[in-house]
């Protein structure tokens, strides 16, 4: 038996005062790399961050399992072979996911994207959970928007806005004016807090290699959403209120490479972790005073 909850789906149209926040970055890796990531004591022992592997089911992605490293306000999300449990986004080996502060700001983003002539698709994603009688309950989870980057892009750019009913259900506290606090959502979903013992604070910079035509589309999308975009010799730099993005022009097989610069609470020099041939994590790469980590993911070609 399938049950449907009467959770209210927020349909307000609210102008967003600031660009959306970086919410999380998803990556795909092969079975060997994922096994090594899950077995890494730095990660598994939660020295680096809160760390969890969980299974979920949604109307968009079907049933899937993801490994996640949680900062205060941002998450690194890792899948085996493909994003989700179906082939909906089989072409993407990585993706940047942005979120808004207040319910209804997604509608404002839709209005701006339409005005700029940028095509996109959008839907309310349902969370699917088992019930005591063996049925499946479907309830509104988040609104998902996918601006078109053109062609089969190995890296995606997504927007999402959590549904208020879901946040209330998991006990995530809202901020002033109903602000959707990412840290409260992660705390509630995990059932444990970020502490001073964790090295990872948040993702500060995402560097992506893409073909020039896709970079032009990414520039148009992000500037429409309020980001500050500046031209570099090799691509563009995009500045938001709490994270930056660099898109480097690359038409080689390296297209789709993603490098995460992660702000750390303190230096931890001399430590490198290799996860097969697809990913590696380096702590304090610039020396003993460097409070950052670089986590690199090479494009997982099976996903393309």
pLDDT per position as a tens digit, 147-188:
999 888 999 999 999 999 999 999 999 888 788 999 999 999
Greater confidence (249 vs 1) lies with 249
CA atoms within 13 A on the CB side of 176: 0
Picking from 159, 151, 188, 207, the residue whose alpha carbon sits closest to that of residue 27 is 207
CA atoms within 13 A on the CB side of 261: 15
Give the chain's end-to-end CA distance (angstroms, integer). Answer: 37
Q: Which structural domain, as residue segments, surrounds residue 30?
A: 2-303
What digits encode the pLDDT tens for the residues 92-108?
Answer: 999 999 999 998 999 99
What digits encode the pLDDT tens for the residues 52-85?
Answer: 999 999 999 999 999 999 999 999 999 999 999 9
Task: Provide the whole-model pTM.
Answer: 0.93
Q: Give every CB contact of residue 11 below 8 A, 6+ residues apart in sequence.
A: 104, 107
- Looking at the predicted structure, is the pLDDT value of residue 9 above 70? no
| The two three-digit tokens of residue 159, written as one number | 């927007």
Lowest mean pLDDT among 126-135, 186-195, 206-215, 269-278: 126-135
Asked if residue 154 lies in contact with residue 183, where contact means CB atoms within 8 angstroms, the answer is no
The CATH number of the domain holding residue 186 is 3.10.180.10
Question: Domain tally for the chain?
Answer: 1
User: What is the percent of the chain where pLDDT is above 70?
Assistant: 94
Q: What is the mean pLDDT of residues 194-208?
A: 98
Q: For the beta carbon of residue 136, count every other beta carbon within 10 angstroms.
A: 12
Rounded CA-CA distance 212/95 in Å is: 17
- What is the pairing mode between strands 200-210 and 244-249? parallel
Q: What is the mean pLDDT of residues 17-37?
A: 96
pLDDT (0 to 100) of residue 302: 64
- In this prediction, residue 11 has a pLDDT band, given cuts at 50, 70 and 90, of low
Q: What is the mean pLDDT of residues 135-139?
A: 93
pLDDT (0 to 100) of residue 71: 99
């Amino acid at each position: 038996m399938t049950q449907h909850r009467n959770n209210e789906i927020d349909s307000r149209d609210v102008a967003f005062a600031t660009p959306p926040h970086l919410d999380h970055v998803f990556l795909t890796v092969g079975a060997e790399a994922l096994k090594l990531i899950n077995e890494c004591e730095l990660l598994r022992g939660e020295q680096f961050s809160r760390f969890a592997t969980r299974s979920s089911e949604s109307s968009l992605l079907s049933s899937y399992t993801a490994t996640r490293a949680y900062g205060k306000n941002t998450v690194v999300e890792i899948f085996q072979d493909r994003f989700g449990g179906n082939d909906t986004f089989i072409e993407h080996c990585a993706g940047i996911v942005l979120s808004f502060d207040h319910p209804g700001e997604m509608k404002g983003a839709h209005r701006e994207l339409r005005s700029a002539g940028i095509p996109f698709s959008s839907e309310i994603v349902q969370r699917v959970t088992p019930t005591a009688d063996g049925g499946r309950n479907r309830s509104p989870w988040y609104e998902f928007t996918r601006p078109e980057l053109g062609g089969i892009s190995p890296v995606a750019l997504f927007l999402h806005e959590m549904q208020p009913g879901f946040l209330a259900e998991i006990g995530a506290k809202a901020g002033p004016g109903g602000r959707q606090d990412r840290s409260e959502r992660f705390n509630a979903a995990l059932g444990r807090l970020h502490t001073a013992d964790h090295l990872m604070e948040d993702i500060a910079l995402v560097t992506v290699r893409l073909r020039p035509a896709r970079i032009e589309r990414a520039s148009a999308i992000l500037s429409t959403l309020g980001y500050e975009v500046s031209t570099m010799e090799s691509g563009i730099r995009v500045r938001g209120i709490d994270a930056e993005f660099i898109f480097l022009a690359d038409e080689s097989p390296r297209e789709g490479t993603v490098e995460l610069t992660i702000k750390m609470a303190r230096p931890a020099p001399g430590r490198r972790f290799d996860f097969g041939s697809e990913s590696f994590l380096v702590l304090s790469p610039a020396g003993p005073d460097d409070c950052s980590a670089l986590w690199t993911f090479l494009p997982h070609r099976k996903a393309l």
